[in-house]
Chains A and B, each alone.
Chain A
Amino acid sequence: MKTQPTAPNKDGITISPIDHDGYVAAMMTAMDQSRAQHAAPLSFWPIVKSLSPYAIAASLVLVVSLNRETPHSQDELMTDEIAWEAVESGFIDINLEDLTASLTQDDLLYLNNKSNF
Chain B
Amino acid sequence: MSSESTIRTAFDRGNFRLAFEAMAEAYASDFFRTALRIVLDHDAANDVVQEASIKMWQKLPLFRGDSMFKTWGYRIVVNEALTHLRKNRRFVSGDFSDLIAPSSPLYNGDDILEELYRAMATLPDKQRITFQLRYFDDNAYADIAATLNRSEGACKANYHHAVNKIKKHFKELNLTGPFASIL
A interface residue numbers (CB < 8 A to B) = 1-2, 4, 6, 8-16, 19-20, 23-24, 26-31, 33-35, 38, 40-45, 97, 100-101
Contact yes or no, B106 A28, CB < 8 A: no
Q: Mark B52-70, 1 if CB is under 8 A from A, else 0.
A: 0110111011101000000
Chain B residues with Cβ under 8 A from A27's Cβ?
20, 24, 28, 31, 49-50, 53
With beta carbons under 8 angstroms apart, the residue of A4, A13, A16, A34 that contacts B58 is A34
Contact yes or no, B109 A11, CB < 8 A: yes
A42–B58 alpha-carbon span in the complex (Å): 10
Q: List 16 A-B contacts (CB under 8 A).
A: A1-B25, A4-B25, A9-B33, A9-B136, A11-B136, A13-B99, A13-B107, A13-B108, A15-B106, A23-B29, A24-B25, A26-B46, A27-B24, A31-B24, A34-B54, A40-B17
B interface residue numbers (CB < 8 A to A) = 14, 16-17, 20-21, 24-26, 28-33, 36-37, 46, 49-51, 53-54, 56-58, 60-62, 64, 99-100, 105-110, 113-114, 117, 132, 135-136
